[in-house]
Amino acid sequence: SSVHLSSSLDTMEHRLRGPTADISRLLQTFISQCAVPDGPVREMLQRIQQFKPRSLSAWAKLKYMGQQGSNGGVDCGYTMLPPFENPALPLTVEAAEILLPNNDDAAVLLKHTAGDTSEDWQLTDVGCSLIPTEDPESRIS
């Protein structure tokens, strides 16, 4: 478990890492109690079946805290961590494009990697927000 606080004190993130079954169950419970659509959770479960990660990292962020003109924000998501038990799915830009939900995330990834070959990009993990409410362009890090 780790907590990250930005130097400007406007963002705080908490990460919890553990076995895939435990963390996915925790996220499913959390999302159901937040009364948000469960589509992203279903997609997460499909990705888990595809990659078969041994561990997941769940994260929650409090954002835009104390920023003038902002009501603040909250986000929650997961990251599948290597090693993966399904070696037939390498972490390539092409694999990430296939796994992305049908939303603006795919367009942002393509724009971010435009002109580069997949050899130029070394993806280290796969994850997604479960409550995507902001502009996907701002989530590239």
- What are the phi and psi torsion angles at 52 (to 5°)? 55, 55
Question: Tens digits of per-residue pLDDT, 33-79?
Answer: 888 788 888 988 988 988 888 999 999 988 877 777 767 788 899 99
Contacts of 16 (CB under 8 A, 6+ apart): 1, 23, 26, 57, 58, 59
Mean pLDDT value of segment 87-101 = 60
